[in-house]
Amino acid sequence: IPAAAMAARSYIAQQRPKLAVRLLKKAWSVQPHPDLAAAFAEIAPEETPAERMKRFRTLTAIKPEHRETRLLRAELALAAEDWIS
């Protein structure tokens, strides 16, 4: 997990977000983890909470019933003030 997050941050620093997304999705499919979600958030730091919630759907769709995925969806919904999700 730490190596995948670090590698993704390296891709982000190199302005290669597509490679970061691919790496983080692959790592999430193996083991969802908050550090991976944090790195995924760093890809687009200026987005609104609603935009972030929409972008994260690609990540949360991978293992939708996993505990970390559920926690992540809850955090995103709180940040977006989406009380229905």
> pLDDT at position 66, please?
97
Cβ atoms of 63 and 24 within 8 Å: the answer is no
pLDDT per residue as tens, the chain (85 positions): 999 999 999 999 999 999 999 999 999 999 999 999 999 999 999 999 999 999 999 999 999 999 999 999 999 999 999 877 6
For residue 32, give every residue at least 6 positions away whose Cβ sits within 8 Å of its Cβ, in sequence order, or none: 62, 63, 66, 67, 68, 69, 72
- pTM here is 0.92
Q: Quote the pLDDT of residue 84.
A: 76
